[in-house]
Structure 1
Amino acid sequence: MEETSKAVNSRRRTLMESLGFGRMSVPVGLTERLEHVRALDRVVVPVAKTIRRRLPSGSALRDMLHGVPTGHPLHPPLATISLGCWTATAVLDLIDVDPRASRAVLATGIAGAIPAAAAGITDWSMLHLEQQRVGFVHAMVNLAALGLYSGSLMMRLSGRHQAGRALAFAGLGAAGLGGYLGGHLAYRMAAGPTHAEPTTHLVPLGWHDLCRLWDLPDGRPVSRRLGYINLFVLRHGAQVKVLADRCSHLAGPLHQGRLKLENDEACVVCPWHGSTFRLEDGAVVHGPATAPQPAFEVNIRGDGIVQVRPREV
């Protein structure tokens, strides 16, 4: 009876593994190993430094490519336009419509890939090294897709439509792989979403005692704990400014950053990647961050206790 039970359990484990349960899927396993391929650093590190040097912190072009004016990263929607056009090209090729329609949609995807790449490279240059390794391969695969689609367009323009279609389908495969790597980078490695604390979920409504006013150093930011989150706290005389401490870009500790004046407004600069936030309301002044820092209203009681509550948007 015991041997029969062991045999049944063994077959059950084999079946579960064959369905992908109880072990890491092959694509994810390969991609996670890619995060630790140090050989890529010989290319990744100098290229990232060059991009940061050509697009200095605080420049209007870099902020635009990050998506600071829109409040969201610019690369994902631009890349979606190209991928959508290329997918539509495959559909048009399959139903064998007027070749001019396929060429027009294909050319639109190629044209859209250029600003998408510019925005993506700018974001990539400000990521952690493990993220940059995956992002570099993502970029190379997408570059191959762009080359295949460009070749497809040239073939179609010269009248070699069958060869053009073949190159387009190969390009779609490359673009699909690039999209998978981009998804891993954004969702598995959290390269795109805000990393600032979701204060609306972690901090109850109403005022909360934080600390005593005179326990805070004057003119030097510190970190203070409020329930589940850390806060950036800066006292200047009897005034106190409070933000969430984890930078919305990649969770850098803002209390270790430097203070600066930007257009006569007090700001803090993240020590990791240089994102700049206004102390008054947490608004993004310069990227790479695009999401603002959660800000807190401050009340100082008569006995010197500093109270805080999330600022209403």
Structure 2
Amino acid sequence: MNRRSSNIFRRGSRAQASQRLADATETLERARGLDRTIRVLSTAVRRTLRPGPLKDTLHGVPFGHPAHTPLTDVPIGCWMSSAILDLMPGTARASQALVAAGLAGAVPTVLTGIADWSALHREQQRVGLVHASATATASMLYSASLAARYQGRDGAGKAFGFAGLTVLLGGAYLGGHLAFRQAAGASHADQTSHLVATGWHDLCAAEELPDGWPVHRRLGYISLFVLREGDEINVLADRCSHLAGPLHQGRVTTDDNAETCIVCPWHGSTFRVRDGSVVHGPATARQPFFETRVTDGVVQVRPVG
């Protein structure tokens, strides 16, 4: 066998190994044996974390995107840096400080992760439960590492640290699967700028819209939420930006400023119908909205942005 053929086989083996890892992760999505634990835990989280400013902050509503993902950089960065320092002489105190900083950073990371996890689809929650278990195990190992270092047992502290980093990286892989394969935290609303041409488009007759009751209409490839209140007509993309719930099946309400809002029927995300802005999470991304006008009895819409 020549060298070129040998290289091809080696690349094929690596591809097969990575595919097996992806297949194993996808198996977690179908692991129904986790569902009972998920039901108990997610119910407890929802009962504890009531709608309000704290819940919205944990989801990341004030920041415009989920808070959990950037917060993970703190413990991961600290603990990886600690591992590097553990390989160098004379860095015991600095490494110990990084382990402690990572544990401190893990607290808000865990809290935001729990909040987001409680409002995911079941397939996402299955992967998320194992992801959380791995990161919790890593945190316990780093706690043991910090305790050993404080007691002067640097060898044991390093061993616990390297074990924690190994588990942490496994959990981080699952977190990547959640974010990039299962799109947890990404906006699931239709991207109107890509799917709708600029300019005005005929939507429907104004007289067919009920007053005060949301309805569903289609514009080309996308579904729209339409709400008429008297002479005012508001139109949003219908797929909720959180996890694509049908907003036209949601509940109409008002915010503290008496502005009309729609509550997603799936996870309770609340948007102002005037401009799609987020009032309450778990959604963090604005709902795409449309300008409207009525011309000769026909509702016309134009995408904004």
Is TM > 0.5 for Structure 1 vs Structure 2?
yes
Aligned to 2:196: 203
The amino acid across from 2:157 in the alignment is G
Tell me, yes or no, if structure 1 residue 277 matches structure 2 residue 271. Answer: yes
1:18 CA drift (Å)? 2.4
The amino acid across from 1:206 in the alignment is G
Q: Which whole-Å CA distance do the structure 1 matches of 2:192 and 2:9 have between them?
A: 44
Aligned to 2:41: 47
The amino acid across from 1:125 in the alignment is S
1:15 CA drift (Å)? 6.8
1:156 CA drift (Å)? 0.7
Aligned to 1:7: none
Aligned to 1:18: 13
The amino acid across from 1:54 in the alignment is T
Change in 2 beyond 3 A, CA 1:14/1:267: same
SS in 1 for 2:268: coil
| TM-score (ref. length: structure 2) | 0.94
1:96 CA drift (Å)? 2.4
Change in 2 beyond 3 A, CA 1:89/1:15: closer
The amino acid across from 1:121 in the alignment is I
Q: Which whole-Å CA distance do the structure 2 matches of 1:229 and 1:103 have between them?
A: 54
1:290 CA drift (Å)? 0.4
Q: How many residue pairs were aligned?
A: 299
What is the aligned-residue RMSD (CA, Å)? Answer: 1.7
Tell me, yes or no, if structure 1 residue 149 matches structure 2 residue 142. Answer: yes
Aligned counterpart for 2:212 among listed residues 199, 219, 224: 219
Render the CA deviation track for 1:211-269: whole Å, top value 9, x for unaligned.
11112222211111112111101112222100010000000000000100111110000
1:36 CA drift (Å)? 1.1
Aligned to 1:77: 70
Q: For structure 1, which runs of at least 5 residues remain unmatched after alignment?
A: 1-10
Render the CA deviation track for 1:69-113: whole Å, top value 9, x for unaligned.
111101111111110000100111112233111111110001000
Aligned counterpart for 2:286 among listed residues 292, 297, 302: 292
Once superposed, which parts of structure 1, at least 4 consecutive aligned residues long, lie more than 3 Å away? 11-17
Q: Which whole-Å CA distance do the structure 2 matches of 1:19 and 1:105 have between them?
A: 34
Q: For structure 2, which runs of at least 5 residues remain unmatched after alignment?
A: 1-5
Q: Which whole-Å CA distance do the structure 2 matches of 1:19 and 1:93 have between them?
A: 30
Aligned to 2:113: 120
The amino acid across from 2:213 in the alignment is R
Aligned to 1:173: 166
1:311 CA drift (Å)? 2.1
SS in 1 for 2:236: strand
